[in-house]
Amino acid sequence: MSTTRLTWACATYAVLWLSTAAVTGQERKGTGNQPPAAKPWAPARLADGQPDVQGIWSAVNPGSTSLTNPISVNADFDQRAKGVEVRLPSRIIDPPDGQLPYQPWAAALQKQQGDAYNKPTKPEHIDPQHRCLMSGVPRLYTVAPAFKIIQAPGSIVFIWDEYHAYRVVALDGR
């Protein structure tokens, strides 16, 4: 194929490809920005009536200690090495602003704990992960890349390969 033909073929392909960009950004008339109505859904159940949640799970927003302004643990290494903090969207969906509506005493405690985390003065202020200790609930579910759920009659077992850890949750009120 000659250079001229190749150039024309590439140019034609580019024009056709770019011509779809204007159409894909347009909204259909009558739909507005409303999401489609939710369809009724009945989850699969186990023999004992519990919802079947077995399988491999992972956090949509993995990372850090903050629910409302999490630092991305998957940020580009060069950015992190330069001190650039890459933040993810809030994990809080209600209220819509993504912020927890702390009562005054809880906001003060959260600020005190944040200050102690950033400038520790006691061993208990140091992040458990920095001390090679396993994170607690709920953080463990958001920092590990994935975990497995196994259900047995009367209990649910969570297993993390990364931490060689597991948690057994009894469902009988214990």
Question: How many whole angstroms separate alpha carbon 142 and alpha carbon 97?
Answer: 21
Q: Judge if 74 and 54 occupy the same domain.
A: no
Locate 120 and state its tokens.
Answer: 């520790």
Q: Please, which pLDDT band fits residue 38 given cuts at 50, 70 and 90? A: confident
Please name which of 35, 54, 34 lies closest in space to residue 43, comparing C-alpha atoms: 54
What total of structural domains would you count in the chain? Answer: 2
Residue 88 counted as domain residue: yes
pLDDT at 40: 87
Say whether both 148 and 166 belong to one domain: yes
Structural domain contains residue 79: yes
Tell whether 34 is covered by a domain: no
Q: How confident is the model at residue 22 (pLDDT cuts 50, 70, 90)?
A: low
Same domain, 148 and 171: yes
Q: Is residue 5 part of a domain?
A: no
Q: In this structure, are 85 and 50 located in the same domain?
A: no
pLDDT, mean over the chain: 76
Structural domain span for residue 109 = 68-131
Are both 51 and 77 inside the same structural domain? Answer: no
Backbone angles phi, psi at 162, to 5 degrees: -60, -40
- Sign of the Cα torsion 94, 96, 99, 100 reads negative
45-64 pLDDT tens trace: 998 888 999 999 887 666 66
Is the pLDDT at 104 greater than 80? The verdict is: yes
CB 84 within 8 A of CB 72: no
**Pair (124, 156) in one structural domain:** no
Q: 23 in a domain, yes or no? A: no
CB 66 within 8 A of CB 99: no
Residue 19 pLDDT exceeds 60 = no
Same domain, residue pair 124 and 166: no
Q: Give a yes or no: residue 157 inside a domain.
A: yes
pTM: 0.54
> What pLDDT score was predicted for residue 81?
73
pLDDT for residue 1 is more than 60: no
The DSSP letter of residue 83 is T
- Which residue's entry shows tokens 């290494």? 77
